[in-house]
Structure 1
Amino acid sequence: MGTVFLSDLVLLVGSALVLLGTVSSLLAARFGAPILLVFLLLGILAGEAGPGQIHFSDYWATYMVGSAALAVILFDGGLRMRASTMRGAVVPAVILSTVGVMLTAGLVALAALPLLGLPPLESLLVGAIVASTDAAAVLFLVRAQGLRLGRRVGAVIEIESATNDPAAVFLTVTLVELLASGAGNPGWALTVGLVQQMVLGAALGVAGGFGLAFVLNRLDLPGGLHPALVVAAAVLIYAATAMLHGSGFLAVYLAGLVLGNRPVRAIASITSFHDTVTWLCQIVMFVMLGLLLSPSRMVQYLPPALLIAAFLVLVGRPVAVFLCLWPFRFNWREKAFISWAGLRGAVSIFLATIPMLAQLPNAEAYFNVAFVVVLVSLILHGWSLVFAARRLDVALAEPAREAKRFEIDLPGQSEHELVAYPVTGDTLAISSGLLPLWARLVFVVRRGQVLSPQEAGVLKSGDYAYILAPPRRVHRLDPLFMPEERVPSETVAGFPFSGEVMVGDVADLYGLSVPQDERAVSIADTFADRSDERPLPGMRFPLGNAAMEALEVEEGRVTQAALRFETLGEEGDSLLTRVRRQIRRRAATAEEGASPGP
């Protein structure tokens, strides 16, 4: 009977922790706290040093659960990544995730060598454990705060996170094997092994994605089983690739990327289900990692671990990012933000369990140092990331929150899905009354009645519009159902510009200072880069001391924009005076040209 009671107790505690993690995530999002830190602290409080008094030291179970959870999380990241947003970001992201990981690990090893008093190879292991980033957490924090990153910056961060985990895992496992076997210099074995991991992971991941899409479209499964099949397939692709000595994490990300960009049956229910599963994986993984921590043992490693964390944030990560992105068209602000967005998360603690499983002599030091680095990163980056993005001007001002969209699968086909939007009084859908040619209004729910498009007429506030559209184009409907932006009254605009005008030409016309690498880019392309190719009327990007604002958007591209000058202090007033003088001069010139000759 004691065993039965113990089993019930484990179920009770486990479900209570998941429930607390779910509820606390809502409070954390409301008050701006780093949500993953909340999950981690829940695990610490439930552990041996907290009121929960749970003694948990099963590193093998943690490794197993962590592997499956990371596979599902990375698959979900690929599933939501649009191939069109990856333009210009793949090569720099891959360089960051390979060369950047090696550089970061090497630089951190230089700091760990004197601080921890470890041999060079063991110091490099410390660097490898903390070299990878958790950009999924970064992107969640940005979206929760209503901030939209520029297209290339956001894509680089997300792709890097998916491809630097494999590099960090391989480097850690290789170094652990070398230390366990007593071998010396890894030599070319490290490079050859990394190439093998990447090639096999890429090949098996792409093949697995196409195979999964084929199976989903051919099998007539009962409703609700498609999402379960996809989750099982994601873990299967990861495990099979890892057993063949390929990168399972890279494979599972690419499988999700292929599936998310293919016409697939039941894709709406699959993505909706993955929202829940991914959250559950994050909660379970961080709570388990928190349970492993022993604060009494961590205290002795606290001073050197804090110094290593400071070196990583202020020196290691920035140097690696600036060197890797030097050949590409990124300005210093974008490089600085990508450096600051190197949030360390579950992967680092997960990697620190590998030396514990191998029973290396200094395994406890690796684990506690990694834990301190993750805590510092979650606190520091978690609370400052949005501020840094706004301060460095790498995000486009968002005029409204995301549109509320409800997706409904249509059994028997994968070319279209049914989506529903609530209509409010100030949405573009009411003012324009137009839908793209590829979208068809099927029916409207108004005051409890179902109406055909002909019966409904123009959409009204309070309606629910049900629209048939291709899955890959659904996101383009969102701007039509967002509240229109109201332009602030304390602004003055210059002449409107076509979206095809070059940014440099506008800057020269008004005497504005812009980076050289942005001058030859059109206004429309700049909005596309900064808004994930989803610009909306009212969105802005900084242009010297002014801001370029989108006025008209057609088929996802800005066709007309205007320059806005904020009246901020003496500098702003003098700039406005100069602009007004320029406008009057151009108007006078136009009148002279239009007047009849003598």
Structure 2
Amino acid sequence: MDTNSFIFLAGILLLVSILASSFTVRVGLPLLLVFLGMGMLAGEEGIGQLDFDNPSLAFFVGNLALAVILLDGGMQTKTSTFRVALWPSLSLATLGVVFTTAAVGMFAAWLLDVQLIYGLLLGATVGSTDAAAVFSLLRNSGVKLNERVGGTLEIESGANDPMAILLVVMLTGLLQSADHLSILSFLGQMLQQFAVGGVLGLLGGKLLLMILRRVPLIEGLYALLIISFGLAIFSGVNMIGGSGFLAVYLVGLTVGNGRIKQLDAISQVMDGLAWLAQAGMFLLLGLLVTPSSLLTHGWQAIAIAAFLIFVARPLAVMVCLLPFDFRWPERFYISWVGLRGAVPIVLALYPIIAGLSNSELLFEITFTVVLISLLLQGSTVPLVARWLKVVVPPAPAPTTRFSLIDDADSHHSLELYEFLVQTEKVRIPASIVQNVPSATVSTPQLVSLVRDQKPIVVNADTVLQLGDRIWMLLHPEDVNDVAQIFSQQASGSFLLQNFFGEFAIRGDAPLIDLAKVYGVPLEGIAPEDTAAELLQRQLGKHLVVGDRVRFGNIRLTIRQMDGNQIEIIGLKLQDKQV
């Protein structure tokens, strides 16, 4: 195939896949499944009749794409989620992968009638959740998970690749050399992978953040700078024996949570590059597989996928999350969203490149497991979230943000925000309308009101209309309060009232006053007890928005938090379900 034909075909495949994605969104299928399916259709047994059989190239492209995806995923993960999700995520990313590997390995060895080590190799290959699939589906599912569940899933998917890769590499090496597995050697390599990748990832992220703040570039080059730096860290850490995947994720995490003026523009470009990486990787992996070969061991692959989804993953999650404060519906949901995607397929190429016997069998079963996972689990992510009640109404937020003054101290930083008016008959507070812009912004300042793409003169009598756009100068800590004014939630939508309750109280509201007002027995309530203390006492230390308790004939639900402090609590009367 000449150069022009290859470029033409690649462009057509991407174009058709992207256009087809609009259909999959309507029917509830994962977008990644479209790219994988298009690759299979273009392959040697599909419409395209392309004979692609180059595992080494697929492995190279897969690793390159995963580095970009993890970099972008890290940039979109907020460090605030580490407050409630770090240790549960690390437990799942380490012990969870080992447990899943062992369970699936023993089952697969028995079912396929192969040596246990081959079964364990298959278990390690499918043992980790896939960052590309998790990031994509959670952020495009149309539901907002509570911070404890969403953060755990995202951090786990970004951090469990090192353990899976280490297991696959070690088991492949054992099959090549016939040596015995040394537990001390395995633990030593695991610590080296996490330590080197973790330290260099954090240091690299700090260095990149400093460069972004101090080196002036054309706006379009900032994202390319981040990509090139991330790829350099990824490959460099791999070369010295660390986990490049963990390192590049931490680089993205550090940069995404740093205060830089260009962050919004950078994030948009990074999202596009991450989608291109995902599309290219899944298309290529789809080209690599021969669909008819998947039928050879089809029922065994289905059985292994069922065991992984309904037995191994749930047991691993239940065991790993025992020490932590998770509700049972949250545990069940985390076990369900154990999505498999490109990572297992890329890992399945290790045995093929190493020339192991049974490597084709392992690849075909892995590919089938991924297809089943994306079809079954991926298409039910929002449905199961609503069924298990782990969703929270999305918080009001600005549509656009520009940093004007960057400072490590948020009290001195200043940003320009655009808000979309989503409710009727709302007036801009007089204190904001009458505020005179000055060098020191102590209160929010109105910059402009745009209606029908025209600026409107604003005074204290101006009534906002649906679709108006408000531009304001704010300190970052004031954004949530201002966003509430213009949100449809400010008018008391049914969703908000049903979830949080009809009333809102402060976290430090005296519990004894609530008891007197709503007829709750006073036994056991001290005068100094507050509503926030009741929630903490009954639910544990690491609370998130959406956590709730029953207090007599009322229900208390956390509505707003500031770090570890409960600021606002929703109160609902006569609700029989907690």
TM-score, normalising length: structure 1? 0.82
- Worse-matched range after superposition: 106-115 or 556-565: 556-565
1:464 aligned residue: 469
1: CA distance, partners of 2:300 / 2:341: 19
1:345 aligned residue: 341
Deviation, structure 1 residue 82? 1.5
Residue 406, structure 1, aligned to residue 415, structure 2? no
1:46 aligned residue: 42
2: CA distance, partners of 1:525 / 1:373: 37
2: CA distance, partners of 1:255 / 1:497: 39
In the superposition, relative to structure 1, how do residues 255 and 56 fare at CA in structure 2: closer, same or farther (>3 Å)?
same
Cα deviation 1:146-184 (Å, max 9, x = unaligned): 321111111111111111011111111121122122323
**SS of structure 1 residue aligned to 2:26:** helix
The within-5 A match list for 1:422-441 is: 422-426=420-424, 430=428, 439-441=444-446
2:535 aligned residue: 521
- What is the aligned-residue identity percentage? 34
1:419 aligned residue: 417
- Worse-matched range after superposition: 424-433 or 380-389: 424-433
**SS of structure 2 residue aligned to 1:56:** coil
Residue 12, structure 1, aligned to residue 8, structure 2? yes
1:499 aligned residue: 507
2:26 aligned residue: 30
**SS of structure 2 residue aligned to 1:418:** strand
**SS of structure 2 residue aligned to 1:146:** coil
1:175 aligned residue: 171
**SS of structure 2 residue aligned to 1:360:** coil
The within-5 A match list for 1:5-404 is: 6-134=2-130, 136-396=132-392, 398=393, 403=397
Q: Which amino acid aligns with 1:362?
A: N
**SS of structure 2 residue aligned to 1:88:** helix
- Worse-matched range after superposition: 405-414 or 222-231: 405-414
Q: Which runs of 5+ in 1 are unaligned?
A: 512-517, 532-538, 567-571, 576-598
In the superposition, relative to structure 1, how do residues 46 and 222 fare at CA in structure 2: closer, same or farther (>3 Å)?
same
- Worse-matched range after superposition: 386-395 or 467-476: 467-476
In the superposition, relative to structure 1, how do residues 370 and 223 fare at CA in structure 2: closer, same or farther (>3 Å)?
same
2: CA distance, partners of 1:19 / 1:527: 49
Cα deviation 1:20-61 (Å, max 9, x = unaligned): 222222221222112211111111111111111111111111
Deviation, structure 1 residue 519? 9.3
**SS of structure 2 residue aligned to 1:78:** helix
Deviation, structure 1 residue 425? 3.7
Equivalent in 431, 441, 447 of residue 442 of structure 1: 447
Cα deviation 1:182-207 (Å, max 9, x = unaligned): 32324321111111000000011001
Q: Which amino acid aligns with 1:180?
A: Q
2: CA distance, partners of 1:358 / 1:244: 21
Kept in 1: contact 2:94–2:160 (CA 8 A): yes
In the superposition, relative to structure 1, how do residues 316 and 490 fare at CA in structure 2: closer, same or farther (>3 Å)?
closer
- Worse-matched range after superposition: 176-185 or 232-241: 176-185
Cα deviation 1:291-346 (Å, max 9, x = unaligned): 11102222112121111111111111111111111111112221111111101111
C-alpha RMSD of the superposition: 3.8
Deviation, structure 1 residue 494? 8.8
Deviation, structure 1 residue 120? 1.7
Kept in 1: contact 2:520–2:552 (CA 8 A): no
2: CA distance, partners of 1:230 / 1:489: 39
Q: Which amino acid aligns with 1:37?
A: L
1: CA distance, partners of 2:519 / 2:309: 38
In the superposition, relative to structure 1, how do residues 560 and 135 fare at CA in structure 2: closer, same or farther (>3 Å)?
same
**SS of structure 2 residue aligned to 1:467:** strand
Equivalent in 456, 463, 486 of residue 493 of structure 2: 486
2: CA distance, partners of 1:510 / 1:494: 22
In the superposition, relative to structure 1, how do residues 64 and 363 fare at CA in structure 2: closer, same or farther (>3 Å)?
same
2: CA distance, partners of 1:334 / 1:383: 18
Q: Which amino acid aligns with 2:69?
A: I
In the superposition, relative to structure 1, how do residues 451 and 203 fare at CA in structure 2: closer, same or farther (>3 Å)?
same
Kept in 1: contact 2:325–2:540 (CA 8 A): no
Deviation, structure 1 residue 250? 0.4
**SS of structure 2 residue aligned to 1:92:** helix
1:561 aligned residue: 570
Cα deviation 1:357-406 (Å, max 9, x = unaligned): 1111111011111101111111111222222222222222x2x6975612
Cα deviation 1:387-430 (Å, max 9, x = unaligned): 2222222222x2x6975612446599995443323334449785
Q: Which amino acid aligns with 2:220?
A: G
- Worse-matched range after superposition: 85-94 or 404-413: 404-413
Deviation, structure 1 residue 548? 4.4
Kept in 2: contact 1:201–1:250 (CA 8 A): yes
1:515 aligned residue: none
Kept in 2: contact 1:502–1:521 (CA 8 A): no
1: CA distance, partners of 2:446 / 2:503: 37
1: CA distance, partners of 2:153 / 2:362: 26
Deviation, structure 1 residue 266? 1.2
Q: Which amino acid aligns with 2:174?
A: L
1: CA distance, partners of 2:498 / 2:290: 56
Deviation, structure 1 residue 264? 2.0
In the superposition, relative to structure 1, how do residues 266 and 405 fare at CA in structure 2: closer, same or farther (>3 Å)?
same
1: CA distance, partners of 2:423 / 2:496: 21
Cα deviation 1:559-590 (Å, max 9, x = unaligned): 35221446xxxxx7xx9xxxxxxxxxxxxxxx
1:593 aligned residue: none
Q: Which runs of 5+ in 2 are unaligned?
A: 434-440, 523-531
Q: Which amino acid aligns with 1:110?
A: M
Deviation, structure 1 residue 99? 0.9
2: CA distance, partners of 1:431 / 1:139: 38
In the superposition, relative to structure 1, how do residues 378 and 562 fare at CA in structure 2: closer, same or farther (>3 Å)?
same
1: CA distance, partners of 2:466 / 2:22: 29
Deviation, structure 1 residue 19? 1.4
**SS of structure 1 residue aligned to 2:472:** strand
**SS of structure 2 residue aligned to 1:89:** helix
Kept in 2: contact 1:96–1:324 (CA 8 A): yes
Deviation, structure 1 residue 446? 3.8
